[in-house]
């Protein structure tokens, strides 16, 4: 396969970047891998693989409670990782950055904490039509068990969100607005500013699911100032099993813990416990120390490339793919827009997305097919699933063109 990159982007040397990703030379079904499933999880650069290897080779110990050298070193690496995460997201106090198992874990911690403190029967949670199951189910569970109500910001005919409807959806009972910053299925970006402004005016708690935003866009949490923000390292060139839960400083003291145990305390007796302050209060048990180290290495990689450069490059890829797909009458695109974050979703008329994905795999092209954990969105679109191509910094226009060529063959085969 001809893979010479002719990207017009002057900021990025994509060929040099690709050398950082050993997996990209892998052959799949005898073909060079074209990995367009980055929305599910992104590939890892050598810097991240090496950081984790280095941690286990030279520093592995349990943290926070040891006086011996290794334990102190591991603790320092873990807390340095917290500082790197805080700096990346422009958070002044690193204690506001809590390590979780990922986005899903973070949203569950928020929902369960608010359920124990703020939420009352009859209260309303406002979501968007885009939400991933991970930002529906924790709220739905509370609503079903406690007589709560989920309301949904609907879609417009162009599949963007009907943001104007918010003013009528918000009532005196709206306690939480929990929204994804970027739709994992459509790649469309939620206009957060008007939403956050309205929430502030009404004293509503804001939760941002940043799982698909953080890999593609610069996120400044000081400027955005939501109550909560969550994301997953594995979608940001980091390892699986680790993520960020950011919370506004007031919540560090007031949000009830969803889970507790060793590491979260100052003192414990059988009668009572005095809890630690800051992030530790929310990090029971032995954390994913190597994961935190890998997460920090991933953020360093992203910043070395430049998050704005990543966004610009991926936008060029999305727009090129969209432009090419629009030439094919057999293709229907969902959420067509020039302002997307790394994702394009489509179907071939009269073909099941699984068949399209299976045939593309024969050519070594990895795309995701199905409902993308957004079944309610699929219901609104009146479809069962889509084919989703999602891009990362190492993808090239040559790969996009190769994908379009093979898709034409798939169209021919399925005709």
Ligand X SMILES: Cc1ncc(COP(=O)(O)O)c(C=O)c1O
Binding site for ligand X (CB under 6 A): 102-104, 132, 134-135, 180, 184, 209, 211-212, 232
Separation CA 347–CA 350 (nearest Å):
9
Closest approach, Cβ 133 to ligand X, in A, equals 8
Which CB, 238 or 348, lies closer to ligand X?
A: 238
Strand bridging mode 365-366 / 34-35: parallel
| Gyration radius of the chain over CA positions | 22
Residue 342 near residue 13, CB atoms below 8 Å:
no
Torsion of CA 311, 314, 318, 323, to 10 degrees: 100
Q: Which is nearest to 110 in space by CA: 257, 261, 231, 222?
A: 257
List 373, 378, 404, 414, catalytic entry: 373
Q: How far is CA 370 from CA 130, 304, 385, 386, in A?
A: 15, 34, 4, 5
Verify whether residue 373 is a known catalytic residue: yes
Closest approach, Cβ 136 to ligand X, in A, equals 10
Closest approach, Cβ 104 to ligand X, in A, equals 3
28 phi and psi angles, rounded to 5 deg: -120, 120
- Which two structure tokens, joined as six digits, stand for 273? 């416990």
Closest approach, Cβ 234 to ligand X, in A, equals 6
Which CB, 155 or 211, lies closer to ligand X?
A: 211
Which CB, 113 or 291, lies closer to ligand X?
A: 291
Which CB, 187 or 402, lies closer to ligand X?
A: 187
- Which two structure tokens, joined as six digits, stand for 103? 């986005």
> Looking at the DSSP assignment, which residues form a beta bridge with residue 98?
245
Closest approach, Cβ 100 to ligand X, in A, equals 9
> Looking at the DSSP assignment, which residues form a beta bridge with residue 150?
125
Which CB, 229 or 346, lies closer to ligand X?
A: 229
SS3 label, residue 386:
strand
SS3 label, residue 147:
coil
Active site (catalytic) residues: 373
């Amino acid at each position: 396969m001809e893979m010479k990159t002719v990207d017009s982007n002057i900021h990025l040397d994509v060929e040099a970047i690709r050398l950082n990703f050993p997996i990209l030379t892998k052959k799949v079904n005898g073909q060079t891998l074209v990995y367009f499933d980055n929305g599910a999880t992104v590939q890892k650069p050598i810097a991240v693989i090496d950081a984790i290897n280095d941690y286990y080779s030279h520093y592995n110990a349990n943290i926070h409670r040891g006086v011996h050298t290794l334990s102190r070193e591991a603790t320092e690496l873990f807390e340095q990782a917290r500082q790197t995460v805080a700096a990346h997201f422009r958070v002044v106090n690193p204690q506001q950055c809590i390590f979780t198992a990922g986005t899903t874990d973070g949203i569950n911690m928020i929902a369960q904490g608010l359920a124990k403190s703020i939420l009352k029967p009859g209260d309303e949670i406002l979501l968007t039509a885009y939400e991933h199951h991970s930002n529906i189910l924790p709220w739905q569970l509370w609503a079903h068990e406690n007589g709560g109500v989920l309301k949904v910001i609907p879609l417009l005919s162009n599949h963007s969100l009907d943001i104007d409807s918010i003013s009528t959806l918000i009532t005196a009972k709206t306690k939480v607005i929990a929204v994804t910053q970027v739709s994992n299925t459509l790649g469309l970006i939620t206009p957060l500013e008007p939403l956050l402004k309205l929430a502030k005016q009404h004293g509503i708690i804001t939760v941002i699911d940043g799982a698909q935003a953080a890999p593609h866009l610069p996120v400044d949490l000081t400027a955005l100032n939501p109550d909560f923000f969550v994301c997953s390292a594995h979608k940001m060139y980091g390892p699986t099993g680790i993520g960020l839960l950011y919370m506004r400083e007031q919540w560090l003291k007031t949000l009830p813990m969803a889970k507790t145990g060793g590491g979260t305390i100052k003192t414990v007796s059988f009668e009572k416990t005095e809890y630690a302050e800051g992030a530790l209060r929310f990090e029971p048990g032995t954390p994913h120390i190597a994961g935190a180290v890998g997460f920090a290495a991933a953020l360093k990689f992203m910043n070395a490339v430049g998050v704005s450069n990543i966004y610009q490059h991926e936008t060029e890829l999305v727009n090129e793919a969209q432009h090419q797909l629009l030439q094919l009458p057999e293709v229907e695109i969902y959420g067509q827009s020039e302002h997307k974050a790394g994702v394009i979703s489509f179907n071939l008329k009269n073909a099941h997305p699984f068949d399209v994905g299976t045939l593309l795999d024969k050519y070594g092209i990895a795309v995701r097919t199905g409902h993308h954990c957004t079944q309610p969105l699929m219901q609104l679109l009146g479809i069962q699933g889509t084919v989703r191509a999602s891009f990362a910094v190492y993808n090239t226009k040559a790969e996009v063109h190769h994908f379009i060529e093979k898709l034409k063959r798939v169209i021919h085969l399925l005709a």
